[in-house]
């Protein structure tokens, strides 16, 4: 009994120590990012340990400069954010438009090659971005899509489709097929069943999948780097921020303000849909 009590106590303390440690480790960098984006650069250089900003000295100038276009002496983040929003939204909508019917077909129809298609979507996980990036870049360059937002959107759709199909399919597998059969007896076509029954029933998963796709597209960096480096007017936020960082004369506070602008939209969306996201992602994980 004694060792039982000692262990219980030790584990209780360890548990709280771990929670506190993890909270500091996960939250502090974001806190630091926000604080650094508001302080004047001289303060940071003079005292790196000033972690609580002096409220009388807070400045919004950094943000004004970061968002303003280059013509107005800024860094063009307003435009970068617009580009990212266009690409991520278009990629998400198209991904959903393509992957909902595909997932439905894979769970309901017995077409030739169904297993091969399912296997192909899994195999795609084995070849992450860098291996695909080389020929996609060269190929798009050859057909003239190399340095366009359209080309980038197509690449993002291909990147998000496998995950989307996986998430949607795991969910749709759990919907009873007897509903489909009943509707079929009433004379509904496959398309009608999908639109009027399966989609409304899967709406929570569809939302979480869409959110996840948007997150992947908004956060993506490698393809943007390969595709758009040559054309500053098309840069996404991620790419714009790295180009900014390469310029030696750009102060770190500007960099942090840019990071906040890059992170904020994702964190806001995530705040609304955290539960859905985790449930959608881990669905079917216990089935292996």
CB-CB contact of 81 with 263 (8 Å):
no
Give me the helices (H) in 69-202, please.
Answer: 77-108, 114-123, 129-142, 149-173, 177-185, 190-193, 199-201
With CB under 8 A as the contact rule, which of the stretches 54-62, 64-72, 138-146, 170-178 interacts with another protein?
Answer: 138-146
Residues 22-41 that bind another protein (CB under 8 A): 22-23, 25-27, 29-30, 32-33, 36
Residues 62-101 that bind another protein (CB under 8 A): 98-99, 101
Q: Is 55 in the site for another protein (CB under 8 A)?
A: no
CA separation (Å) from 153 to 3, 4, 174, 252, 267? 60, 58, 31, 31, 22
CB nearer to another protein: give 44 or 201: 44
Residues 239-268 that bind another protein (CB under 8 A): 241-242, 245, 252, 255-256, 259-260, 262-263, 266-267
Give the closest residue to 166 by CA, choosing from 277, 278, 88, 281. Answer: 281
Site string for another protein, 176-195 (x = CB under 8 A): --------------x---x-
CB-CB contact of 217 with 92 (8 Å):
yes
Residue 42 C-beta: closest distance to another protein, Å: 11
**Which residues fall within 8 angstroms of residue 80, CB to CB, at 6 or more apart?**
235, 236, 237, 239, 240, 241
Distance CA 40, CA 50 (A): 12
Q: Is 288 in the site for another protein (CB under 8 A)?
A: yes
With CB under 8 A as the contact rule, which of the stretches 52-60, 74-82, 201-209, 212-220 interacts with another protein?
Answer: 212-220
With CB under 8 A as the contact rule, which of the stretches 52-60, 61-69, 102-110, 173-181 interacts with another protein?
Answer: 102-110
Q: Tokens at residue 237, please? A: 């936020």
Q: Is 282 in the site for another protein (CB under 8 A)?
A: yes
């Amino acid at each position: 009994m004694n060792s039982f009590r000692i262990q219980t106590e030790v584990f209780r303390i360890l548990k709280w120590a771990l929670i506190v440690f993890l909270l500091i480790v996960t939250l502090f960098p974001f806190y630091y990012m926000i604080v650094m984006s508001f302080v004047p650069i001289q303060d940071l250089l003079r005292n790196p340990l000033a972690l609580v900003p002096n409220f009388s000295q807070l400045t919004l100038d950094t943000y004004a400069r970061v968002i303003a276009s280059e013509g107005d002496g800024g860094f063009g983040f307003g435009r970068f954010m617009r580009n990212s929003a266009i690409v991520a939204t278009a990629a998400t909508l198209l991904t959903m438009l393509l992957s909902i019917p595909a997932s439905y077909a894979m769970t309901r129809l017995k077409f030739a090659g169904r297993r091969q298609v399912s296997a192909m979507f899994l195999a795609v996980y084995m070849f992450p971005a860098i291996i695909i990036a080389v020929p996609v870049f060269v190929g798009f360059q050859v057909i003239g899509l190399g340095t366009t937002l359209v080309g980038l959107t197509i690449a993002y759709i291909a990147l998000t489709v496998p995950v989307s199909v996986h998430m949607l399919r795991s969910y749709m597998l759990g919907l009873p097929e007897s509903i489909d059969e009943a509707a079929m007896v009433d004379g509904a076509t496959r398309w009608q069943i999908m639109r009027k029954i399966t989609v409304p029933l899967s709406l929570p998963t569809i939302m979480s999948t869409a959110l996840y796709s948007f997150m992947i597209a908004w956060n993506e960096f490698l393809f943007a780097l390969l595709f758009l480096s040559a054309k500053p007017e098309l840069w996404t936020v991620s790419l714009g921020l790295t180009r900014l960082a390469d310029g030696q004369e750009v102060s770190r506070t500007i960099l942090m303000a840019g990071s906040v602008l890059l992170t904020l939209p994702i964190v806001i969306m995530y705040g609304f849909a955290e539960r859905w996201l985790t449930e959608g992602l881990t669905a079917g994980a216990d089935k292996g």
